[in-house]
């Protein structure tokens, strides 16, 4: 988990350093998004949650909290399990509407983190 955190911080710092010359703008928006991620064993359906987002000219980077539903056959838990994920997301292409998502989930039953990766889409149209 520490490695993922440090990689995310390094990525944000690098992208931020390259965009120092760009005009800075900040705004408050409510953004709807969905994503499907997997860890190879189960599938996670993620819905957008609160985030800290950094916007750049061709890319946006966010650290998100993602309410999710896990679909996985498990002897202990049911087929569908609600979970809360946290992790970085990269927004790109077509006005930053496509998402690469990397949420991590803490499993209290096994006391282990599950790292996932997948694709998503921002449902909110960008204002011009």
pLDDT digits (tens, 9 = 90+) for 5-31: 566 666 555 555 444 444 445 444 567
What is the reported pTM?
0.72
- pLDDT confidence tier of residue 105, bands split at 50, 70 and 90: very high
| Residue 116 in domain | yes
Let me know if residue 21 belongs to a domain. no
Q: What is the model's pLDDT at position 1?
A: 57
CA separation for the pair 77, 79 (Å, rounded)? 7
- Span 108-124, average pLDDT: 89
Determine, yes or no, domain membership for 62.
yes
Contact 87, 101 (CB under 8 A): yes
What residues make up the domain containing 12? Answer: 2-16+38-122
CA proximity to 119, closest of 96, 94, 89: 89
- DSSP letters spanning 73-96: --SSS-SEEEEEEEEEEEEESTTT
Domain count, the chain: 1
Position 89 in a domain = yes
Q: Are 103 and 85 in contact (CB under 8 A)?
A: yes
């Amino acid at each position: 988990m520490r490695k993922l955190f440090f990689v995310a911080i390094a990525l944000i710092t690098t992208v931020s350093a390259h965009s120092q010359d760009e005009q800075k703008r900040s705004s408050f928006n409510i953004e709807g998004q969905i994503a499907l991620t997997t860890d190879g064993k189960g599938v996670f359906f993620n819905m957008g949650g609160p985030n800290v987002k950094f916007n750049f000219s061709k890319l946006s980077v966010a650290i998100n909290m993602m309410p999710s539903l896990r679909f996985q056959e498990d002897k202990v838990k049911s087929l569908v399990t609600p979970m809360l994920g946290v992790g970085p997301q990269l927004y790109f292409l077509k006005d930053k509407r496509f998402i690469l998502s990397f949420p991590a989930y803490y499993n209290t039953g096994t006391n282990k983190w599950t790292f996932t990766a997948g694709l998503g889409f921002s449902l909110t149209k960008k204002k011009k």
